[in-house]
Amino acid sequence: MASRPTQQEIEAAARVLNDLGLRHHWWDPYRKSYDELAATDAVGKEEFDAIVEAVLVAAYAVRAHS
């Protein structure tokens, strides 16, 4: 089994993904930064983090099998 990302890795990747999404208007009309999301919507942050974690786990699995 692939190793799990740390919470710090998840949050760092989530910030990058959110910033890119805002820059490319993927989430329009949503405009909150990741830190604003974390401060105002605990469930939304948890769901976003879960998506990012799944992506990181998939990337770790590929690396482990390369």
pLDDT digits (tens, 9 = 90+) for 12-62: 999 999 999 999 999 989 899 999 999 999 999 999 999 999 999 999 999
Q: pLDDT band for position 3 (50/70/90)?
A: confident
Query: Quick check: is 50 in a domain?
Result: yes
Q: Is the dihedral of CA 45, 48, 50, 53 positive or negative?
A: negative
Query: Quick check: is 30 in a domain?
Result: yes
Query: Quick check: is 43 in a domain?
Result: yes
Query: Quick check: is 2 in a domain?
Result: no
Provide φ and ψ at 33, rounded to 5°.
Answer: -70, 165
Please identify which residue in the block is written with the tokens 């009309």: 29
Name the residue range of residue 40's domain: 7-64
Query: Quick check: is 16 in a domain?
Result: yes
Q: In the chain, how many domains are there?
A: 1
Residues 6+ apart with CB under 8 A from 17: 52
pLDDT number for residue 66: 85
Query: Quick check: is 1 in a domain?
Result: no
